[in-house]
Amino acid sequence: MAPDVSCFLLALLCSASCEVITSLDQMCIEKEANKTYNCENLGLREIPDTLPNTTEILEFSFNFLPTIQNRTFSRLINLTFLDLTRCQINWIHENTFQSHSQLSTLVLTGNPLIFMAETALNGPKILKHLFLIQTGISNLEFIPVHNLENLESLYLGSNQISSIKFPKDFPTQNLKVLDFQNNAIHYLSREDMNSLEQATNLSLNFKGNDIKGIEPGAFNSTVYQSLNFGGTFNLSVIFSGLQNSTTQSLWLGSFEDTNDQDISSSMLKGLCEMSVESINLQKHHFSDFTSSTFQCFTRLRELDLTATHLDGLPPGIEGMNVLKKLVLNVNNFDQLCQINAANFPSLTHLYIKGNRKRLHLGAGCLEKLENLQKLDLSHNDIEASDCCNLQLKNLSRLQSLNLSYNEPLGLQSQAFKECPRLEILDLAFTQLHVNAPRSPFQNLHFLKVLNLSHCFLDTSNQGLLAGLPDLRHLDFRGNHFQDGTIPKTNLLQTVGTLEILILSSCDLLSIDQQAFHSLGKMSHVDLSHNSLTWDSIDSLSHLKGTYLNLAANSIRVIPPHLLPVLSQQSTINLSQNPLDCTCSNVRFLTWYKENLQKLEGSEGTVCANPPSLRGVKLSDVELSCGMTAVGIFFLIVFLFLLIILFIFVVRYLLRRRYQHI
């Protein structure tokens, strides 16, 4: 009987220890030692004892805390950020955060709150951000007003709030963001808005509330940073309600899933009665579109007409001299000239991306935009056999040009002569036809960033990158080199100022030892996703303090003479290589462990060989490659036998020699 009992005890012990292990599995993730912890989705019913008292940032969402009270978080007095999203909290009792003087952000989103005590939020000295989204609030009196003097943002979205009238003693003087998304607010009265009188530069969000009426003058006195009435059915209500208001930005866009009335020119007359700098009308239909539509837009600095079903803008719009930024993404233009750019002579930023039809650039369509600094023409199916001087005529101040994700472009020498001040040029995923020995980017004296990824370039053209004296950042990923090799003389030799070079996914097999010799300033080299082996590392021997990405290559061994090259770099990524963990690579393996602080992606840096170590992290490999004890034993025995044999031979020879004496 006795053995059975002891066995049972043993089993109990075993299962107990296993429980400990499973609970360890369920532990919070340390994101920053002693400071930041993530305990999401663990079904916890209390703060785990393993969390240190010094925790400042705690992500505790999707756990189970029906009641929170004074002692719930009392140990973690340094908390500054506490996320309690969807913890099924019903009750927040008195003085729950009494000891948390540093708490500045509290997230209570998605909790079925029944009651918050009057002193529930007392304690924090600088509570700045409070999230009460989807907590079932129908009345603003629900929020305890004590200790909200420092509140900067209050998120009240997805509740059942129908009136935004705050209680009299609610402190609003520091409020900057007030978010009422997706509530049931249908009417805004003067009295409602007066309760926010003390707030300055407020951003108010009424998106997803069907506003049916605004009392005239409700928005009169105060200056707003931004007002959002997204998805409102009838914009006339908004325009007439905002008379005499002043706001930086006004968001009046619509959505795929909301019904709205067409915007008529007469509706937009309301804009004359208010002061707005930036307006967004995305996804609306315009019932009529003439030059008079814009008569009240004269003070506008930014206009966003994304996806507004436009096939052109009317000519002869007058008075839009201060418009700086125009967004015409996702419309139906055929020709770039149809936007009648001359209407907007002061434009500095123009965005026309994702046009629904193939966009033809035409000739000189933007030539009146002398001040244009940024132009985005990406995702437009643009095709041109001779780009881009005719198309970008007279854009002499252009600094940033995006032509990525288009159809093939043919580039001649000095293809961007019309925009000599370009600093950023993005041509990613646009096939480029450049005949050797042409140099399309010649004379771009200020170009710093050039994205040529997946451009199907002819890399044997030595002059391709000629004439770029200030280029710092070259993204060349996805282009192919002849025979998968970067030879000694190559197109990179003309860009000696490069600091960041990306050559990933170029199907490279090898790089000549001298290939990067003229590139002495590089601080970031990405050679990942190629088929490089150790012999290409030699090409980096002149670089120091560089970030070096060699992930996803074919590196098996790294011979000892290359270890100094790696040692002199600041960060190295060797993950996803078929690394050898046998004694033939032991010097590298030792180096790896000594330089762990330099290595990135150590989780994915695993052995591929021998089979017994496949998948084991390099940092966990223990190899002893000295001679084994058995080997030493046999060697000694062997030497011993040899000596004996030698003695016998000598004795035999001596005996023969002196036999006759």
Partner 1 sequence: MEGFTAVLLIWTLIAPGSSGGSGREAWPTHLACREGGLEVLYQSCDPLQDFGLSMDQCSKQLKSNLNIRFGIILREDIKELFLDIALTAKGSSILNYSYPICEEDQPKFSFCGRRKGEQIYYAGPVNNLGVDIPKGEYQVLLELYTESRATVACANATIISF
Provide φ and ψ at 233, rounded to 5°.
Answer: -65, -50
330 binds partner 1 (CB under 8 A): yes
Which candidate, 651, 526, 516, places its Cα nearest to that of 601? Answer: 526
Q: Is the peptide bond before 124 cis (omega within 30 degrees of 0)?
A: no
Subset of 10-29 contacting partner 1 (CB under 8 A): 10-11, 14-15, 18, 21-22
**Of the two residues 86 and 438, which places its CB atom closer to partner 1 in the complex?**
86
Whether 381 and 404 have beta carbons less than 8 Å apart is answered as no
- Shortest reach from residue 89's CB to partner 1, in Å: 11
53 binds partner 1 (CB under 8 A): no
- Shortest reach from residue 257's CB to partner 1, in Å: 4
Element (DSSP H or E) covering residue 266: none
- H runs (alpha helix) in 154-303: 190-194, 235-241
Q: Is the peptide bond before 171 cis (omega within 30 degrees of 0)?
A: no
Whether 333 and 356 have beta carbons less than 8 Å apart is answered as no
- Shortest reach from residue 375's CB to partner 1, in Å: 15
What is the DSSP code (8-state) at residue 593? H
- Cβ contacts of 423 within 8 Å, gap of 6 or more: 399, 400, 446, 447, 448, 449
Stretch that binds partner 1, among 90-98, 302-310, 561-569, 585-593 (CB under 8 A): 302-310
What CA–CA distance (Å, rounded) separates 183 from 188?
13
Subset of 225-244 contacting partner 1 (CB under 8 A): 230-231
Residue with tokens 């001679």: 627
Which residue from 37, 110, 137, 575 is in contact with partner 1, where contact means CB under 8 A? 110
3-class state of residue 57 by DSSP? strand
62 binds partner 1 (CB under 8 A): yes
157 binds partner 1 (CB under 8 A): yes
- Shortest reach from residue 608's CB to partner 1, in Å: 25
Which residue from 169, 257, 603, 622 is in contact with partner 1, where contact means CB under 8 A? 257
Whether 371 and 394 have beta carbons less than 8 Å apart is answered as no
**Of the two residues 230 and 241, which places its CB atom closer to partner 1 in the complex?**
230
379 binds partner 1 (CB under 8 A): no
282 binds partner 1 (CB under 8 A): yes
Subset of 333-372 contacting partner 1 (CB under 8 A): 351
209 binds partner 1 (CB under 8 A): no
Stretch that binds partner 1, among 63-71, 271-279, 304-312, 315-323 (CB under 8 A): 304-312
Which candidate, 279, 268, 367, places its Cα nearest to that of 322? Answer: 279
256 binds partner 1 (CB under 8 A): yes
Provide φ and ψ at 18, rounded to 5°.
Answer: -65, -35
* Token duo for residue 321: 């001299």
* Token duo for residue 303: 């206009």
- Shortest reach from residue 506's CB to partner 1, in Å: 22
**Of the two residues 307 and 579, which places its CB atom closer to partner 1 in the complex?**
307
Subset of 88-107 contacting partner 1 (CB under 8 A): 107
Buried-state track 448-482, b at ≥16 Cβ within 10 A, e below 16: bbbbbbbbebbbebbbbbbbbeebbbbbbbbbebe
61 binds partner 1 (CB under 8 A): yes
What CA–CA distance (Å, rounded) separates 610 from 524?
32
Stretch that binds partner 1, among 45-53, 322-330, 620-628, 645-653 (CB under 8 A): 322-330
454 binds partner 1 (CB under 8 A): no
Q: Which residues pair with 475 in a beta bridge?
A: 451, 502
Element (DSSP H or E) covering residue 38: strand 36-38
180 binds partner 1 (CB under 8 A): no
* Token duo for residue 514: 């001298």
85 binds partner 1 (CB under 8 A): yes
Which residue from 153, 258, 412, 459 is in contact with partner 1, where contact means CB under 8 A? 258
207 binds partner 1 (CB under 8 A): yes
Which residue from 37, 155, 206, 416 is in contact with partner 1, where contact means CB under 8 A? 155
**Of the two residues 181 and 479, which places its CB atom closer to partner 1 in the complex?**
181
307 binds partner 1 (CB under 8 A): yes
131 binds partner 1 (CB under 8 A): yes
**Of the two residues 258 and 541, which places its CB atom closer to partner 1 in the complex?**
258
What CA–CA distance (Å, rounded) separates 298 from 371?
18
Whether 444 and 421 have beta carbons less than 8 Å apart is answered as no
- Shortest reach from residue 3's CB to partner 1, in Å: 6
- Shortest reach from residue 307's CB to partner 1, in Å: 7
Element (DSSP H or E) covering residue 651: helix 629-657
Q: How do strand 36-38 and strand 29-32 relate by DSSP bridges?
A: antiparallel
Which residue from 39, 82, 120, 133 is in contact with partner 1, where contact means CB under 8 A? 133
134 binds partner 1 (CB under 8 A): yes
* Token duo for residue 406: 């288009």
Which candidate, 380, 434, 377, 440, places its Cα nearest to that of 407? Answer: 380
- Cβ contacts of 131 within 8 Å, gap of 6 or more: 85, 105, 106, 107, 108, 109, 155
- Shortest reach from residue 260's CB to partner 1, in Å: 11
Taken as a whole, the chain contains a residue count of: 661
478 binds partner 1 (CB under 8 A): no
41 binds partner 1 (CB under 8 A): yes
Q: How many residues bind partner 1 (CB under 8 A)?
A: 45
* Token duo for residue 273: 């009665």
- Cβ contacts of 429 within 8 Å, gap of 6 or more: 404, 405, 453, 454, 455
Q: How far is CA 178 from CA 68, 225, 227, 334, in A?
A: 26, 11, 10, 42
Stretch that binds partner 1, among 5-13, 183-191, 232-240, 640-648 (CB under 8 A): 5-13
Which residue from 64, 115, 233, 255 is in contact with partner 1, where contact means CB under 8 A? 255
306 binds partner 1 (CB under 8 A): yes
* Token duo for residue 488: 């000694």
Stretch that binds partner 1, among 127-135, 409-417, 433-441, 575-583 (CB under 8 A): 127-135
182 binds partner 1 (CB under 8 A): yes
528 binds partner 1 (CB under 8 A): no
- Shortest reach from residue 106's CB to partner 1, in Å: 13
What is the contact surface with partner 1 in residues (CB under 8 A)? 3-4, 7-8, 10-11, 14-15, 18, 21-22, 41, 61-62, 85-86, 107, 109-110, 131, 133-134, 155, 157-158, 181-182, 207-208, 230-231, 253, 255-258, 282-283, 304, 306-307, 327, 329-330, 351
